[in-house]
Amino acid sequence: MTLGSETFVKGAGSEFKMNSNGISSKLNIYITESSFTRLGIEYHFATSGLIQKQMWQQFILGLNNNGPLSMEAGYVKTPELSKPEKLTSEYLNVNKGVKLDQFFFSKKKDLQKYFIGNENIEVPAGNLQAAHYRKKNNGQVVDFWISDKVKPIGMVKLVSKNPKEMAQNYEIELVSLLRNVKATIDPKKAGPLTEKGKSALAIPIKK
């Protein structure tokens, strides 16, 4: 998605179906704050089956006029944590491949270099015409489809593949649009990252 002329309404977002290594889960993504210089996005993961888990993560992205947005802050919350916890810098960069902030652009021309073509995509939300893009980084190949008809998130489908990293093999498909979602994480109430909070997160990259 791109910033600038776009309007990101607080509480608006999308519900997705996510499949990762045989595990199915629900993924909700919605806007928590929006301005010309900042964009707040919260993710809610909920697995199904006998063992059910939930986790919320919120990220604050800063506008960078030269390209992708910068990751300014991140937070995590699980039912086991009494309050949200703020991610340290190492936990903002745990993905060895394509990172979250690389999917958000300040200018449409920065996104066009990844354009593959316009395609019809069948997802649980229906059949949608969407623009197909592809990004590669460190062995991870991410194909994603975006449509203006499903704003503000814009994502219709995403497929990530990496034969060497099991955690980077997953598929996300749009189920429905969301409105008036209240954020679970309040950054003002967040405490420092604890060992319990770390246990819910992916292991950070060792440099």
| Closest by CA position to 133, among listed 122, 124, 123, 144 | 144
The tokens of 109 are what?
Answer: 């021309």
pLDDT at position 58, please? 95
Q: How far apart, in Å, are the Cα atoms of 24 and each of 139, 159, 184?
A: 24, 14, 22
- 94 alpha-carbon distance from chain centroid: 14
The tokens of 188 are what?
Answer: 């003002």
Average pLDDT, consecutive stretches of 10 residues, N- to C-terminus, the chain (207 residues): 60 94 90 88 86 88 67 93 94 61 57 92 96 89 92 92 87 96 97 94 67
**Domains observed in the chain:** 13-199 (2.50.20)
pLDDT at position 102, please? 54
pLDDT at position 47, please? 87
| Closest by CA position to 75, among listed 34, 104, 32 | 32
Q: Could you tell me which residues come within 8 angstroms of residue 49 by beta carbon, excluding any fewer than 6 positions away?
A: 23, 24
Model's pTM, two decimal places?
Answer: 0.86
Q: How far apart, in Å, are the Cα atoms of 40 and each of 151, 180, 188, 200?
A: 15, 15, 13, 21
